[in-house]
Amino acid sequence: MITIGFTGDFCPWLRIENEFNANNWKPLLEEVKPFFDSNDLNVLDLECPLTTSNKGISKTGPHIKAHPATAAILNHLNCEVVATANNHFKDYGWKGMQETYEALTKHNISWLGSGANFEEASKTFYWKNTENTIAFINITENEWTTTHDATPGCHPIDLANVFNQIQIAKKQADFIVIIAHGGHEHYELPSPRMKKWYRFFVDAGANAVVAHHTHIISGYEIYKEAPIFYSLGNFCFDWEGLRNKPWNKGMILRLAFEKNKPVTFEMEFVAQNSDEVGLTLLKSEEKKAMLTHLDTINAIIADDTKLEAAFLKYAQTWKAVMNTWIQPYKGKIMSSLYKRGLLPSIITKKKKLLYTNLIQCEAHRDILLQSINPKK
């Protein structure tokens, strides 16, 4: 039997980096380290580049990074491989990626999910022991980091490409694991589309799907004997202004692989970087409460009608924001006046129909994205 550990987002910056620089970091991981030491392999999601570069790419949202020396933390956690297909790994461009690769190589850590071009970024990672070969395919939703050509970046989700990769991997590996980075931040359920896509990966031949990105723990299901975990939440990701929140809880997952048998799993839960910096395991009562909550989430995931209703309710909370974003009003004042109903909508009903068609039709959307992309 092979056991492999997985975590959600790992970003060793802010207070963690400060403690690392003060050489006071190992005690912060003492409680969780035995989990990783007991596995044959551990795969962490490296949510940021390890770089000293200060030249961030043009994007919306924050730029995050940690010092290259913090790769030593990965060694300490018995991590031999990191998943790098995510929405922050290219925050500091190709230079930041290269510096990260140098730091990982120095610490004998492999990576998957990114590279100098699409061909490198999309490579399947194979791990072998004397009995089994396990294939890992790492993908991320298309934000600012993905590559589709000869430029550096991360491996984008493309159903046709992933299907073909799985078919090739099935001929070379005993098991296939999809590591996906996507979903809706701070929302604890997958969208109906995510459920459909992740199940499709299993239909294509994957034996397990492990996902992250939402920064909070989501639920899971067993589909055709394959476990699908929709988000492990944060593993170690300090953030100013977020304390004692769902942000500060994460799942660490152990998958067990035995030839000709379904993949099995065990879960532990961590509290991370809340009032106090560092990681601790949830104790009996807290763990019991988390498992009970997961049962509730899992019941919604299992019911397509409930999942659709929950997502529509969630999407409704974004309606005012989205409507403000697509208006041509600029600046905080004009946008705020529109949001309060003090300025009219400039977008007519006919124009909304046009937008709807351009966005919902895949062929039209392809052209739209090329047309409005400031880099083209």
Domain end: 293, 310, 327, which one? 310
List pLDDT tens digits, range 239-286. Answer: 999 999 999 999 999 999 999 999 999 999 999 999 999 999 999 999
Domains held by the chain: number: 2
**What pLDDT, on a 0 to 100 scale, did the predictor assign at position 369?**
73
Shared domain for 304 and 330, answered yes or no, is: no
78 contact partners, CB below 8 Å, separation of at least 6: 33, 36, 37, 39, 42
Shared domain for 241 and 367, answered yes or no, is: no
The residue-averaged pLDDT of 215-232 equals 98
Shared domain for 356 and 236, answered yes or no, is: no
pLDDT band at 323 (very low <50, low <70, confident <90, very high): confident
pLDDT band at 22 (very low <50, low <70, confident <90, very high): very high
Residue of 233, 230, 213 lying closest to 222 (CA atoms): 230
**What pLDDT, on a 0 to 100 scale, did the predictor assign at position 132?**
93
Shared domain for 131 and 269, answered yes or no, is: yes
DSSP characters over 241-263: T--SSGGGEEEEEEEEE-TTS--
Domain end: 310, 326, 347, which one? 310
Shared domain for 249 and 155, answered yes or no, is: yes
Burial class (CB in 10 A: 0-12, 13-18, 19+), 313: exposed
On the question of pLDDT at 66 being above 60, the answer is yes
pLDDT band at 61 (very low <50, low <70, confident <90, very high): confident
Shared domain for 298 and 333, answered yes or no, is: no
**What pLDDT, on a 0 to 100 scale, did the predictor assign at position 264?**
98
Looking at per-residue confidence, does 315 or 204 come out higher? 204
Task: State how far the Cα of 18 lies from the Cα of 237, in Å rounded to an integer.
Answer: 13
DSSP characters over 260-290: TS--EEEEEEEEESSSSSSEEE--HHHHHHH
List pLDDT tens digits, range 26-35. Answer: 999 999 999 9
On the question of pLDDT at 334 being above 60, the answer is yes
Domain end: 310, 335, 356, which one? 310
Residue of 161, 181, 29, 182 lying closest to 113 (CA atoms): 181
* 367 to 283, 347, 362, 364, 371: CA distances (angstroms): 52, 21, 9, 5, 6
On the question of pLDDT at 376 being above 60, the answer is no
**What pLDDT, on a 0 to 100 scale, did the predictor assign at position 375?**
66
Burial class (CB in 10 A: 0-12, 13-18, 19+), 262: middle
Shared domain for 352 and 237, answered yes or no, is: no
Name the 3-class secondary structure at 53: coil
pLDDT band at 361 (very low <50, low <70, confident <90, very high): confident
* 5 to 23, 37, 78, 156: CA distances (angstroms): 26, 10, 10, 23
Shared domain for 8 and 27, answered yes or no, is: yes
On the question of pLDDT at 145 being above 90, the answer is yes
List pLDDT tens digits, range 96-143. Answer: 999 999 999 999 999 999 999 999 999 999 999 988 999 999 999 988
Q: What share of the chain is helix, strand, coil (3-state, %, to 5)?
A: 40, 25, 40
pTM: 0.92
Shared domain for 273 and 327, answered yes or no, is: no
Chain length of the chain: 376
Task: State how far the Cα of 339 lies from the Cα of 334, in Å rounded to an integer.
Answer: 9
Considering the chain, what percentage of its residues have pLDDT values greater than 70? 99
Shared domain for 306 and 330, answered yes or no, is: no
pLDDT band at 360 (very low <50, low <70, confident <90, very high): confident
Mean pLDDT of the chain: 94
The residue-averaged pLDDT of 203-210 equals 98
Shared domain for 86 and 149, answered yes or no, is: yes
Tell me the sheet residues that pair with 250.
233, 270
DSSP characters over 209-239: EEEE-SSSB--EEEETTEEEES-BBEEEE--
Shared domain for 250 and 353, answered yes or no, is: no
Which residues form the domain of 368? 318-372
DSSP characters over 350-376: HHHHHHHHHHHSHHHHHHHHHHH-TT-
